[in-house]
């Protein structure tokens, strides 16, 4: 039995070579021989000292020991992480593996970090067994020369923690998944109708009241409240810890503070911010609500500016996401203050009032040295040239924005909504919000579709979105994300060399690492009778 298992892990290890890397590298040349990682191997990392510990932590997990720090010597087995002066694009790297030395060269820390992710994929799958630290005192990495860089600078995943709350440990697990797939942005959807999730010291009611819902009507178990009080929030210290954890993995956390719609949690905490001024509750059921921030009330803008001032202190990201989606105009049409604002500002209608709201908040954030991202509804009523549009209602909004000279992140629901069902076998699938999004459809995303060469320059990148109306548990989220996250990663990193049949073949290798790590991923991509069947070759 033991010999059979040993043979199995050897065979699994054979799958993990350069031609099987995800995302697909620009160039991966196989060479003769192997590099043997053993206790006497050293790590030399003068240019990126923090990566010494990051790599050593990984070695310790798979081998049970740590490697010593070495000098610049060529006479021993060494893993060297070096600064490369010029000639490489941002986040690009060179990875050279010979029998005596592994050399990583990068212009920046991001490139060196991604080279390590590639190195981890090249390690034999057997080292990732739960008991590997007891057995893998040495292991071999095949020799390669790899040159690689991402196609898009922005490669992200959105996590909604308003509908179902994920604690700090769970968010860190999400970050680990993101890093493994060479994605570099966590878009953190922190506020919505169903819960305000970040501590704001100047306005404590936002979390003491707005972070909790229920007891209310009986809801599906996956929605999280039912007849019990449900909720949670991140203290500012926890938010900072998550931001640091992400930064160590070369991931930027972009917070989203929703406005002017999806504001019920905030209105329940501070009713004067709404057009009616009273009667608000944190809703237990998701959906688009008519009650939104009052655009005619100056106290609304004072609170939001104060909130964003504290958010800026927590999140060093270049961008702050301000939402802007699904804002009904019913209350504004009937609100004397909003109608007065329309007259005073010489606006045409409530759509231009929304544009006024967005541009006012953008000017405030610009004054603090930050830029805004908004969902594609921020195009309605007019948009400044400095705002970035996140296109979710298909790609049309992104195409319109790029043609107008605005930067764009493509996250269309047609390709990027990972809360959609991955197969049509709904009876045997965990709950999704609806829709059908198999992995080949995710992979088919073309962020440049409909744009000429000049307009394509405005596409910053791509993002997968995980809304959590029906996703309450970490294993459910993991199932919905994986392996579709790998397709998002390859679109963002390897867009100019996409090839779905080849991706399908390479996924057989990454799947082995999912298995060894115990990930609860969707296996429908690999099932012959699923909607996502093996594609024909070229």
Catalytic site residues?
Answer: 192, 262, 326
The number of residues making up the chain comes to 538
Distance (Å, whole) CA 392 – CA 133: 44
Q: Which residue has the tokens 């991140």?
A: 234
The answer to whether the beta carbons of residues 503 and 24 sit under 8 Å apart is yes
Distance from CA of residue 177 to its chain's centroid?
Answer: 9
β-partners of residue 196 are 191
CB neighbours (10 Å) of residue 280? 23
Output the 3-class SS for 232-276. CCECHHHHHHHHHHHHHCCCEEEEEEEECCCCHHHHHHCHHHECC
Give the integer Cα–Cα distance in Å for 76 and 42: 8
Report the C-alpha gap between 193 and 264 in whole angstroms.
Answer: 4
3-class secondary-structure state, position 153: coil
Task: Report how many helices (DSSP H) and strands (DSSP E) the chain contains, helices first.
Answer: 18, 21
Burial readout 455-476 (b: 16 or more C-beta within 10 A, e: otherwise): beebbbbbbbbbbbbbbbbbeb
Determine what percent of the chain falls in helix, strand and coil, rounding each to the nearest 5: 40, 20, 40
Name the phi and psi angles at 141, rounded to 5.
Answer: -115, 125
How many Cα atoms within 13 Å fall on the side-chain side of residue 51? 26
DSSP letters of 407-463? Answer: -EEE--HHHHBTTEESSS-GGGSPP-SEEE--HHHHHT--TTTT--HHHHTTEEEEE
- CA pseudo-torsion sign 536, 417, 120, 10: negative
Taking the C-alpha atoms of residue 255 and residue 6, their distance in angstroms, rounded to an integer, is 46
- CA atoms of 295 and 441, how far apart (whole Å): 39
CB atoms within 10 A of CB 147: 16
What six digits make up the tokens of 267?
Answer: 């209105």
Strands 68-69, 42-44: pairing is parallel
The angle formed by the CA atoms of residues 412, 413 and 418, to the nearest 5 degrees, is 115
* Sequence-separated (6 or more) residues with CB below 8 Å from residue 367: none
Per the CB < 8 A criterion, the answer to whether 179 and 121 are in contact is no
């Amino acid at each position: 039995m033991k010999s059979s298992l040993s043979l199995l892990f050897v065979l699994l290890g054979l799958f993990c070579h350069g031609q099987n890397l995800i995302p697909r590298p620009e160039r991966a040349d196989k060479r003769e021989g192997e590099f043997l990682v053993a206790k006497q191997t050293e790590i030399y990392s003068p240019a990126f000292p923090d990566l010494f510990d990051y790599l050593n932590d990984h070695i310790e997990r798979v081998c049970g020991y740590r490697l010593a720090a070495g000098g610049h010597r060529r006479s021993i087995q060494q893993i060297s992480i070096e600064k490369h002066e010029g000639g490489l694009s941002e986040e690009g790297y060179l990875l050279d593996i010979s029998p005596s030395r592994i050399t990583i060269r990068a212009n920046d820390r991001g490139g060196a970090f991604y080279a390590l992710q590639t190195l981890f994929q090249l390690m034999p799958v057997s080292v990732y067994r739960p008991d590997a630290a007891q057995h893998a005192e040495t292991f071999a990495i095949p020799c390669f020369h790899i040159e690689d860089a991402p196609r898009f600078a922005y490669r992200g995943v959105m996590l909604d923690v308003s509908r179902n709350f994920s604690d700090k440990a769970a968010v860190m697990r999400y970050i680990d998944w993101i890093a493994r797939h060479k994605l570099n942005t966590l878009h953190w959807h922190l506020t919505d109708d169903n819960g305000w999730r970040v501590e704001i010291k100047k306005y404590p009611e936002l979390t003491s009241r707005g972070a909790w819902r229920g007891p209310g009507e009986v809801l599906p178990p996956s929605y999280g409240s039912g007849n019990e009080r449900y909720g949670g929030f991140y203290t500012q210290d926890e938010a900072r810890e998550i931001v640091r954890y992400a930064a160590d993995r070369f991931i930027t956390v972009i917070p989203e503070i929703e406005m002017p719609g999806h504001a019920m949690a905030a209105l329940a905490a501070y009713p004067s911010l709404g057009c009616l001024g009273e009667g608000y509750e944190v809703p237990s059921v998701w959906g688009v609500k008519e009650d939104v921030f009052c655009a005619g009330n100056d106290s609304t803008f004072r609170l939001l500016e104060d909130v964003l001032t504290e958010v800026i202190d927590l999140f060093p990201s270049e961008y702050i996401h301000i939402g802007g989606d699904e804002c009904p105009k019913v209350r504004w049409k009937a609100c004397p203050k909003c109608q007065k604002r329309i007259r005073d500002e010489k606006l045409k209608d409530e759509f231009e009032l929304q544009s006024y709201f967005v541009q006012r908040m953008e000017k405030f954030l610009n004054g603090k040295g930050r830029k805004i991202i908004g969902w594609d509804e921020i195009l309605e009523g007019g948009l400044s040239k400095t705002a970035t549009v996140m296109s979710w209602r298909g790609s049309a909004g992104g195409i319109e924005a790029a043609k107008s000279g605005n930067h764009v992140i493509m996250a269309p629901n047609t390709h990027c909504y990972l809360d959609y069902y991955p197969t049509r076998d709904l009876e045997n699938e965990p709950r999704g919000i609806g829709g059908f999004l198999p992995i080949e459809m995710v992979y088919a995303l073309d962020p440049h579709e409909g744009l000429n060469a000049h307009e394509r320059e405005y596409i910053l990148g791509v993002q997968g979105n995980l809304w959590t109306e029906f996703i309450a548990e970490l294993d459910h989220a993991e199932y919905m994300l994986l392996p579709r996250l790998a397709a998002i990663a390859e679109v963002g990193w390897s867009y100019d060399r996409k090839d779905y049949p080849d991706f399908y073949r390479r996924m057989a290798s990454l799947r082995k690492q999912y298995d060894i790590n115990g990930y609860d991923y969707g296996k429908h991509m690999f099932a012959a009778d699923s909607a996502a069947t093996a594609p024909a070759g070229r």
